[in-house]
């Protein structure tokens, strides 16, 4: 990291790709807004991906926290994109396209000492769209694609919406995790290559079962 960053009660001293589990929007913003606000106080960039129906509310909550969002967007310090502009371009999810999108964002030239604080809502995967079932594989592949030294990436998940089996797999794809509002190293993390092999083996078994049933 170019300088320490405070996230969910911890000081980051290295790159961070974290899954953040919450039970409500209120809990999510209570935990993440200090991280977001600290970034603006430090002059860092912010890249947020949100539900298109929640974009206005997201900006309003940032305003209430003392962030001049209009000025930040105008200067390029803040970029708020929706699912349709990122994960679900053309109405479907392409994991490789999305990895390229995020890597291009992280690779943008920055002022010396400044970083980009990246927060993404992952509830797009609950929509009935082609490709959304690849979310776990995407998260696993992202670990291998991210540069060794990269800016913090926080993927937020609503525990009231995702099935338990998906939550467990998502947990296994992130080196760090926020649970109960606290950031910690994830003891359940599985390296990218191993996780992708496991997921592809599952797909093969499922395809074989369907073939036998037919």
Task: Name the fold adopted by 5-213.
Answer: Rossmann fold (3.40.50)
Domain range list for the chain: 5-213
At residue 3, the pLDDT reads 64
Q: Please, are residues 32 and 157 in contact by the beta-carbon 8 Å criterion?
A: no
The model's pLDDT over 97-125, given as tens digits with 9 standing for 90+, comes to 999 999 888 776 555 557 889 999 999 99
The model's pLDDT over 122-164, given as tens digits with 9 standing for 90+, comes to 999 999 999 999 999 999 999 999 988 889 999 999 999 999 9
Phi, psi of 16, rounded to the nearest 5 degrees: -140, 120
Binned at pLDDT 50, 70 and 90, residue 203 comes out as confident
pTM: 0.91
Q: Please, are residues 2 and 153 in contact by the beta-carbon 8 Å criterion?
A: no
Query: Cβ contacts of residue 143 below 8 Å, gap of 6+?
Result: 17, 173, 174, 175, 191, 192
């Amino acid at each position: 990291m170019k300088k320490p960053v405070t996230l969910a009660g911890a000081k980051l001293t290295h790159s961070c790709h974290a899954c953040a589990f919450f039970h409500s929007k209120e809990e999510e913003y209570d935990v993440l807004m200090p991280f977001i606000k600290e970034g603006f106080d430090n002059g860092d960039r912010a890249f947020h991906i949100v539900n298109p129906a929640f974009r206005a509310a997201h900006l309003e909550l940032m305003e209430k926290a003392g962030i001049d969002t209009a000025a930040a967007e105008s200067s390029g310090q803040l970029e708020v994109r929706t699912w349709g502009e990122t994960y679900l371009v053309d109405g479907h999810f392409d994991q490789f396209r999305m990895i390229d999108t995020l890597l291009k964002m992280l690779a943008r030239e920055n002022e010396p000492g400044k970083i980009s604080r990246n927060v993404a809502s992952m509830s797009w995967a609950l929509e009935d769209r082609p490709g959304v079932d690849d979310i776990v594989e995407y998260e696993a592949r992202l670990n291998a694609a991210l540069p060794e030294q990269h800016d913090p990436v926080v993927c937020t998940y609503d525990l009231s919406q995702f099935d338990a089996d998906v939550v467990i797999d998502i947990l296994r794809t992130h080196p760090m995790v926020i649970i109960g509002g606290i950031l910690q190293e994830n003891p359940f993390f599985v390296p990218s290559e191993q996780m992708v092999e496991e997921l592809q083996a599952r797909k093969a078994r499922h395809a074989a079962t369907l073939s036998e049933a037919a």
